[in-house]
Amino acid sequence: MRKYEYNALLKAVDDLKEADTAFNHSYVNGGITEEQVDLYEKLKYQLDELYIMADMVLSNYKIKQMLREQRRRVGR
């Protein structure tokens, strides 16, 4: 994964979290209909899956970065 891909993934996850927070705030304040709640529940499941996948990708990226750094140190 390249640095720009990593940054884009982080931004996408942050944007999703922000949208989720905004929806929850609107729901609490009564600005959401029951139909929208049903749609949101379906989306929420998909967002949870996306968060899990993004976490795995980011964890793998960080591990690869640490391994590269260790190889550089050993190679010197």
| pLDDT score for 27 | 67
Whole-number Cα distances in Å, 14 to 17, 23, 42, 44, 58 = 5, 14, 19, 15, 13
Q: Which residue is listed with tokens 């009564």?
A: 30
Indicate the number of domains in the chain. Answer: 1
- pTM here? 0.49
Enclosing domain of residue 68: 3-75
Q: What is the pLDDT of residue 63?
A: 92
Do residues 1 and 57 touch, judged by C-beta distance below 8 A? yes
Select the more confidently predicted residue: 11 or 31: 11
Residue 68, pLDDT score: 93
Q: What is the pLDDT of residues 23-76, one digit of tens each?
A: 777 767 777 777 777 777 777 777 788 788 888 888 888 899 999 999 999 876
